[in-house]
Amino acid sequence: MRLAARPLLTQSVTTAVLFATGDTMAQQLIEQKGFNNHELARTGRMALYGGCVFGPAATMWFGFLQKRIRIPGSPNLEIVARVAADQCVFASTNLFVFLSSMAVMEGTDPKKKLDSTYWEALRKNWMVWPVVQFTNFKFVPLEHRVLVVNVISLGWNCYLSFLNSQPSGPHIENPTYPPDV
């Protein structure tokens, strides 16, 4: 199996494909652009970020959590500690890197993008991912955790792609994105 032989490469390629799929879902299902108006460069940026940044980082991060956050005799407390570390360190950092790197690749101002989207997106992240990660850390073997995150991320990446595509800056009437759902 490729995952066992080359976990970093396998997770990275899988993540690139799923990030691109999330963007395609955003453009076609949410924004209803139609295939003639599909922004291939946007899909490419999402795939690039997923494969070169998120896939490798998440693979290494889950290994780090597994090895370094240990509370012998308290498996549920250990999982809660891993979820807390994941959400306070990895999720907040990844969201910052995602929004700023997308802005750079688009040729826009990362500070404006972060100012208009970061805190609300992080709040929405905390509404979804702690439960997902608790379940992931409790029931899923280490080598499959990135895959579980990637599958759930189809919806999340669709949301992030939509969020990132929204205009930002002081000229926008309601600059707070993402909108509450």
State the DSSP string of 93-108: HHHHHHHHHHHHHHTS
Taking Cα atoms as reference points, which of 152, 181, 147, 168 lies closest to residue 22?
152
The model's pTM is 0.84
Residue 165 is predicted with a pLDDT of 86
pLDDT of residue 1: 57
| pLDDT for the residue 3 | 60
DSSP-based three-state secondary structure for 77: helix
The tokens describing 58, both together, are: 């998440």
Per-residue pLDDT of the chain (181 residues; tens, 9 = 90+): 556 678 889 989 999 999 999 999 999 999 999 999 999 999 999 999 999 999 999 999 999 999 999 999 999 999 999 999 999 999 999 999 999 999 999 999 999 999 999 998 999 999 999 999 999 999 999 888 988 888 888 888 888 888 888 876 444 454 444 444 4
pLDDT of residue 41: 97
pLDDT for res 147: 84
Burial 36-57 (b: 16+ CB within 10 A, else e): eeeeeebbebbbbbbbebbbbb
